Structures are given as C-alpha cells and as structure tokens.
Amino acid sequence: MNQERIKLLEDLREAATQLVSYTSYAEIIGAIHHNTNHIRQGCDKVQEINAKIRHMDENKRFKVKARSELTHAKQLEGNVYQFTFGWLEEEEGMYKGEAIWLPNDDTYPQDAPTSIASGDLEAVDD
C-alpha cells in the first residue's frame, strides 16, 4: 500500500474517532433524538476497529495472572509467555469486550488453553 493511501486512512481513522467522541457526548446529554440505534452501532464499530488496530500484529510478553480460580488460565499462573493479539471477544459472558491473546511461545505448554483473555494477563516490560 502506498504511503499516501496509508496517510489518508490514518486521517480517516482520526476523523472518525473524533466524530465518535462528539457523537457519544451528544448522546449522553440527550441531544440525539433520531436514529439513535444506527448512530450507536456506527460509533461502536469505529471503537471496535480502533481497538483492533491498536492490537493488530502486536506480539507482547505477558505474565499470566488468573483473575479467579474458575478461569482456564489458572494452570499457567505466574509464568511469562509471548502472545499475539487474536480478536476482541464479542460474545456475552465473562470475557465480553476483552482482547483475546494467542500464545506464540515455544515454551508454552501444549496442553494449556489455546487462547487467554486480557483480564488474565499482566504486561511485562522487556
């Protein structure tokens, strides 16, 4: 992709994010009276895309810090591994809205979970 196109896409993303901020504020103060569902869906989509862009292709080191005894990450508690961003969880439940990270580390146990939610991970500085 050429540099001019990349710059235009970055500008578009910035403009959309700013528009979402103003729109969300207008919604909070009750200034939006029509098409509220469509406006909210559009704002949510911009936020979702921004979150994906922030995490896209990132490889990070995390220490596993399971938030409860019920989580599937408990068996890895305290260990540090390399992870790659997978997706944002959209399904209802404990992990809704969280980034899901995929192990990308030769030392990661083969019988361990194939993905871990961001709430069970703590960033580690290299």
Give the whole-angstrom CA distance, residue 105 versus residue 102. Answer: 9
| pLDDT at residue 56, rounded to an integer | 62
Each residue's pLDDT tens digit, 23-47: 888 888 888 888 889 898 988 888 8
Alpha carbon of 65 to those of 8, 23, 62, 72, 96: distances in Å?
40, 36, 9, 11, 18
pTM: 0.55
Each residue's pLDDT tens digit, 98-108: 888 999 999 99
As a whole number of angstroms, the longest Cα–Cα distance in the chain is: 54
